[in-house]
Amino acid sequence: MHWRGSLRRAGSLICLGVACLPGVQAAEDAATADDSETLDEIVVVAHKHARSLRDVAATVSVFTADTVRFELGNTLADVFRYAPGIDFESAGGRFGSESINIRGISGNRVAMLIDGVPLSDQYNVGSFSNATRDFVNAGLVDSIEVLRGPASALYGSSAIGGVVAMRTPDPHRLKGGERQGGTAFANYRDDNASVHATAMQALASDRASLLVGGSYRRGQESDASAVDQNLDQRELSGRSGLVKLVIDDAFGNSWRASVYHQDSEVDSALNSMLGSGRFRSTTALDGHDEYRSDILSLEYRFSSAGLADDGVLRAYLQQADIAQRTYDERGGARTPVAIDRDFSFEQQIAGFEANLQKQLTLGGMNHRLGFGIEYRERETEEYRDGLETNLTDGSQSKTLLGEVFPLRDFPISTTTEWGAYLEDTVTLGRFSLIAALRADAYDLRPDVDAMYREDYPFAEPVAISESELSPKLGVVYRPAASTEIWLQYAHGFRAPPYEDVNISLEIPLFNYRAIPNPDLAPERSDGVDLGVRWRGTSASADMSLFRTDYDNFIESRVRLGPDPASGRILFQARNISRAVIEGVEAGSDVTLEGDRFRVDVGGRLYWARGQDHDSGEALNSVGPPQAVLSLGLSPVDGAWQARLKGTLTDDWSERDESGGELFETPGNGVFDLFLARRVGPRLTLRAAVLNLTDRTYWSWTDVRGLAPDDPVLPYLSRPGRSFSLGVDLNW
């Protein structure tokens, strides 16, 4: 069945709902203004301070722990499963999820924060090394806010593509008005035989409260719907822990200290790759990967401090360590060998920030000022090692494909960032004007050690310094108490990263050489969003149009041609002069409540296209159109819930194939059913059936860049029909 027509019909229904919902509201009780206040949604990510979504000139998506539990989610990829326009990109069967894609922009161009602390970078080189950003356990997250589009005016260089702001629960979230409270929940999924369990306990005295939580996950490789059995094998285990202390002083201010820890191990056997392509002589390909992240955060939240009405002071330290080991046995080669590869990526981020807010009246106008300063230092160290063993005579060598190990692909790098911002929201009757400006200073300093210098005597690593002013200007107009029309312009900025400025790579056997680029220019973007939001007592709708122009977009490892001096084929990071991404997002929700039952109907739609104006080709980072439809049923007392969700995805036809034919993921429709039953006041049982129709399908993020005849494609298909069970206990 071809789903393009179904997707268009779904989009028409959602857009029709957006257009017609005010008519639904007109038939309701006239007290719209008072009732809509009860539906107000508070977000922080758009202004770095709590603000009603009705006052925000941007598109913000909010995901809560309650929704994640209802959908039996374990990972961040599960959180965004029904969020068109937000995708979790995959690095294949071994490395799993690696980064978040928002409106076609991903990787380190999207800022990822947990309790205001930035997560480490994503970095990969070759087929055996991938430092992902999948460091967060969804079980220990209370809420996630996603700001779509350029956000450098408040978040600086790392947010040219958007912001993913995650918050862990505070003790009061569990204890309520009591002295103690806790929760525990667990689920099982049969598509990857995974078990996920989380428990949290909160304790409180008059002015102090403590939360202690832990989570454990264990699983195997996911089923693949295109084959009877997935040849690849994967064993994953992970542990997470959270400790948070909150102390309130006599003046209404609070001190907070938190420690977040996560570590995991993944053992994999990539059997689907054996005997084909570059692995035609490989008889075993096994991986052992270890991930560890530790975050220490200290906060002081205050009010009525003279200079500001309220604010947050935060200092933090984040340490990420990734070690990946690969065993590559080439028993079918003319000379049988075994190759052991090691990859290490370590990054430490230390910083502090102050975010303040002040309300005042000037010239008869109300001003809501936000202002602050931020400092961040990031030290990054990477290396690869290798050893080749002759399986016939036992001789060993540290030279593989001409590379002499150990080596670094870029020198040890320290980057420092200073930022200061000012934002003013002025209210004039039905209008709110929002203006913001941030100044950033960015410095990159390489440390050339003996390992780097020995392997790359030809390379001349460079230090760079960049600065930028990032403005934002928005307006919110309220024609009625329940409606907002908003328009925003936002500038984005991203300084040239260490791995592109000072990349050094030489493979003599293939005559390849990658060289630094001291002239790499910063990326810049200019985005415009136009949107409308409406909320009634039992319905809501929103729609936004967006267009972002990117200048000097950085493309890594571009082939330059032969070097006249050495004869090597040179590769270097280069700037694409201009790229554009534009699209539309829309959604609507309606609740119909009778004497006995409540029915919830909703849907969301996303469509976008991207173009590289240098080549005229499409951007392969922009995915196909998608719509999500939802139908829920529950009794008015909430004793049980049932929800059916359908995801309709078009085929991925808009892509660049100038470098070779690519696999086109076919359009598909996938339906999932979720059930929950409350057993007493404290216990809830949950169940889910995913992919009800047992459809064979692929996600475009899993197979992007693969040829139509790649032998691993069947094993990267998503699971067929599968089942999940879960249980929640609160006390």
Q: What is the 3-state secondary structure (H, E, C) of 27-58?
A: CCCCCHHHHHHHCCCEECCCCCCCEEHHHCCC
Choose among 317, 315, 318, 316: nearest CA to 354: 315
Q: Which helix (H) or strand (E) holds 415?
A: strand 412-428
**Quick one: how far is CA 656 from the chain centroid?**
24
DSSP structure class, residue 104: T
pLDDT of the residue at 177: 72
Burial 447-467 (b: 16+ CB within 10 A, else e): eeeeebeebbeebebbebebe
Choose among 165, 191, 104, 95: nearest CA to 134: 95
- Tokens at 408, concatenated: 């670094």
Choose among 554, 558, 581: nearest CA to 493: 554
Quick check: 720 and 691 in contact, CB under 8 A?
yes
Is the whole model's pTM more than 0.85, yes or no?
yes
Choose among 593, 608, 613: nearest CA to 545: 608
pLDDT of the residue at 576: 81
- Tokens at 571, concatenated: 């590769």
End-to-end alpha carbon distance in the chain: 48
HSE toward the beta carbon, residue 263, CA cutoff 13 A: 6
- Tokens at 118, concatenated: 């930035």
Distance (Å, whole) CA 522 – CA 504: 20
- Delineate the domains of the chain, giving CATH numbers in brackets: 4-730 (2.40.170.20)
Using the structure block, give the residue that is written with the tokens 């079980």: 139
Using the structure block, give the residue that is written with the tokens 């032998």: 711
pLDDT of the residue at 39: 55
Distance (Å, whole) CA 5 – CA 8: 5
Using the structure block, give the residue that is written with the tokens 């002040």: 358
pLDDT of the residue at 90: 83
Low-confidence ranges of the chain (pLDDT < 50): 1-3, 6, 8-10, 12-38
Pairing label, strands 162-167, 110-114: parallel
Choose among 618, 515, 524, 659: nearest CA to 573: 515
Choose among 415, 581, 566, 561: nearest CA to 500: 415
pLDDT of the residue at 102: 96
Distance (Å, whole) CA 339 – CA 529: 51
pLDDT of the residue at 556: 81
Quick check: bond before 406 cis, omega within 30?
yes
Quick check: 415 and 378 in contact, CB under 8 A?
yes
The SS3 assignment for 179 reads: coil
Choose among 54, 162, 74, 130: nearest CA to 531: 54
Tell me: the pLDDT tens digits for 303-343?
A: 876 788 999 999 999 999 999 999 999 999 999 999 999 99
